[in-house]
Structure 1
């Protein structure tokens, strides 16, 4: 039985990634190329796909259309969706942390270094993309839960 992804674990990963990124950026910022606005945007399509998948699975679970047969959601598909959600939540948290580490370095430098001002928009897009992916993944994982059973607490449909 799989445990639900805990938000505090994702926050811990994001903080760790932010600290490591801040330390690296602090020492290497001058040698990094400019950060374009679309640098972190690649996570947005994945987040959108996961939200769509979550609504599809939620609909099937709500209608008790789980099992083998046409028009039904195979249990292995639900298990794969939970695995995707768990992995995406980690990627989103780590990515948001890395971009937050960049932002922690760039924010005080904005008044001094023009490159820091130019890079801030790309860093914000990336940080929001990481947060969006983590949120979409948590929603997908939540939608994969089995319908409530009065005798047992909710668990992912795996």
Structure 2
């Protein structure tokens, strides 16, 4: 995709999310090891991230059908597709950081799992990291679903235009 300004939008590769996971993990380890006591882990982040992942995966399936012009679907507006790509990119970056942060926090408390409070923090952090991983996968799938098929240009050339 390229805009009038000459800039291009490239698909999210594996390097940026991997780097953000590492940065998030370092931050999670640092915070968990530097605060006195245990870091507060909100269990409500798990269903929230799962709901976001489900919504993005559902949207990705519908978008892929609409872009592929499946029978019974309306074509998607280009601006709507661009907005979905922006949502997917932002979600992928956030999910990468969250995955790393909560995995790092879970890793930081693994040596004291015999204590109930540490076990609770570990399970909550691990569940949140897994939910963030699902959101990352759904976001990358939504970004992939917004791609225009290769044969779309050929279809547009065959349609009669103004003479």
On whether the aligned pair clears a TM of 0.5, the verdict is yes
**C-alpha contact (below 8 Å) 2:106/2:122 kept by paired residues:** yes
Cα–Cα, structure 1 residues 50 and 58, in superposed 2: closer, same or farther, change >3 Å? same
Equivalent in the alignment of 2:53: 47
**C-alpha contact (below 8 Å) 1:92/1:133 kept by paired residues:** yes
Equivalent in the alignment of 1:130: 132
1:1-150 to 2 correspondences below 5 Å: 1-30=8-37, 32-33=39-40, 35=41, 37-63=43-69, 71-111=74-114, 113-149=115-151
Q: Which runs of 5+ in 1 are unaligned?
A: 152-158
Aligned equivalents of 1:41 and 1:64: distance in 2? 32
Aligned equivalents of 1:101 and 1:38: distance in 2? 19
Cα–Cα, structure 1 residues 96 and 29, in superposed 2: closer, same or farther, change >3 Å? farther
Alignment length, in residue pairs?
Answer: 145
Deviations 1:89-136 (A, max 9, x none): 00110000110111110111213x331112222111100111011100
Aligned equivalents of 1:63 and 1:56: distance in 2? 11
- Higher mean displacement: 128-137 or 20-29: 20-29
Cα–Cα, structure 1 residues 73 and 124, in superposed 2: closer, same or farther, change >3 Å? same
TM-score w.r.t. structure 1 length? Answer: 0.83
Query: Which structure has the larger Rg over C-alpha atoms?
Result: 2
